[in-house]
């Protein structure tokens, strides 16, 4: 992985144990009737918070979400965790996820810059030598649609 992946997850990790990261400037989505649910596995119990970020474009993907209410963090109580984004308008969305396994506030990487903690994206399109892209991981929601995606942490 490259520095872009590290940067994106560093932004998410910086939020600490209870405050979701909100990059500047933030945006508010028009309220809609769709929802997007991500089931994230395999989560490591007792190994730090899992953070999910909702995106509408490549602008901040796969980092912290600029959408108000678009970042969620939770301490896992099972080997899977669910991140739910409700009242979404119809449109294209992607979710990025990571687990801060040692709770140090950063996505740890190896000597080559590749993450050593779990990370993922909504369609599990995670290139071996580059950051995931919004285009490869977006899903399209229709008004009123309830969509669930399965994200496998790498």
Q: Could you read off the pLDDT of 45-75 as tens digits, one per residue?
A: 989 999 999 999 999 898 889 999 999 999 9
What would the mean pLDDT of 75-83 be, rounded to a whole number?
94
Q: Report long-range pairs for 24-27 (Cβ below 8 Å, ≥24 apart).
A: 24/66, 25/66, 26/66, 26/67, 26/68, 27/66, 27/67, 27/68
Are 43 and 79 a contacting pair, CB within 8 Å? yes
pLDDT confidence of residue 132: 92
pLDDT confidence of residue 131: 85
């Amino acid at each position: 992985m490259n520095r872009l992946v590290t940067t994106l997850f560093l932004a998410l990790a910086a939020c600490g144990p209870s405050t979701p990261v909100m990059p500047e400037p933030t945006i508010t989505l028009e309220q809609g009737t769709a929802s997007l649910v991500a089931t994230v596995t395999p989560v490591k119990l007792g190994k730090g918070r899992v953070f999910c970020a909702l995106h509408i474009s490549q602008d901040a993907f796969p980092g912290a979400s600029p959408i108000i209410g678009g970042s969620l963090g939770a301490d896992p109580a099972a080997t899977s965790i669910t991140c739910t984004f409700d009242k979404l308008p119809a449109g294209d969305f992607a979710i990025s996820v990571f687990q801060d396994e040692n709770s140090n506030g950063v996505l740890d990487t190896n000597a080559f810059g590749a993450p050593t903690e779990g990370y993922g994206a909504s369609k599990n399109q995670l290139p071996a030598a580059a950051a995931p892209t919004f285009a490869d991981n977006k899903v399209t929601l229709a008004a009123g649609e309830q969509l669930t995606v399965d994200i496998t942490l790498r």
